C-alpha cells in the first residue's frame, strides 16, 4: 500500500544541536507551533502529533509531513531517548493516517561527507 504525500503540509523538524529530551520537546513545540499547554513529555508529544486540531494552520485538511533532520547527534548522545522518540513518531502516525514522519538521511554539518563526522566506512 502507498500513501499519497502530494499536497501535504511539509514541516521541517530540525534537531541539529539537540542532545536531550528537553531540546527535542522545545524544537517540536516550535516547529509545530504547539500551544503553551503542551506538556513537553512523551505522551503529550504523541497526543499533539496525532491531534489534527493542534497541527499548524493548513495541515488539517491536507495532511502533515513532518521531516526530521539533524537527528544523528541526539541519537548518538541519547540512544534510549531517541528510540522512544521514534516509537512516539510511529504511534502518532498510526493514530493519524494523514500524518507522516520522515527521518532525513544526513542533514547535519557534523555528518556530511567530507565533514567532521565519522569516516569508518571503507
Residue 35 has pLDDT above 70, yes or no: yes
Q: Report pLDDT for 10.
A: 94
Round the average pLDDT of the chain to a whole number and report it: 86
Cβ neighbours around 62 below 10 Å, total: 14
The DSSP string of 4-21 is --TTPEEEEEE-TT--SH
Task: Return d(Cα 100, Cα 78) in angstroms, integer.
Answer: 23
pLDDT in tens, 38-92: 999 999 999 999 999 999 988 888 999 999 999 999 999 999 999 999 999 999 9
Kindly report the pTM of this predicted structure: 0.82
Enumerate the H helices of the chain as residue ranges: 21-32, 42-50, 59-62, 72-77, 79-95
Q: What is the pLDDT of residue 4?
A: 63
Share of the chain above pLDDT 70, in %: 82
Residue 117 has pLDDT above 50, yes or no: no
Tell me the C-alpha distance between 62 and 78, whole Å.
33
CB atoms near residue 110 (< 10 Å): 14
Return the higher-pLDDT residue of 113 and 4: 4
pLDDT band at 121 (very low <50, low <70, confident <90, very high): very low
Count of all residues that appear for the chain in the document:
122
Give the lowest-confidence range in 1-5, 14-18, 28-32, 86-90: 1-5
What is each CA distance from 38 to 30, 32, 43, 45, 98, in whole angstroms?
A: 11, 11, 10, 8, 21
Amino acid at each position: 500500500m502507498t500513501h499519497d504525500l502530494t499536497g501535504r503540509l511539509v514541516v521541517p523538524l530540525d534537531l541539529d544541536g539537540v542532545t536531550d529530551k528537553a531540546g527535542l520537546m522545545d524544537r517540536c513545540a516550535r516547529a509545530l507551533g504547539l500551544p503553551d499547554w503542551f506538556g513537553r513529555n512523551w505522551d503529550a508529544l504523541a497526543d499533539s502529533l496525532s491531534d489534527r486540531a493542534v497541527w499548524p494552520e493548513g495541515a488539517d485538511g491536507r495532511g502533515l509531513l513532518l521531516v526530521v533532520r539533524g537527528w544523528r547527534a541526539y541519537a548518538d548522545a541519547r540512544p534510549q531517548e531517541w528510540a522512544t522518540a521514534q516509537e512516539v513518531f510511529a504511534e502518532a502516525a498510526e493514530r493519524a493516517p494523514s500524518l507522516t514522519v520522515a527521518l532525513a538521511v544526513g542533514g547535519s554539518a557534523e555528518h556530511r561527507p567530507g565533514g567532521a563526522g565519522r569516516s569508518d566506512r571503507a
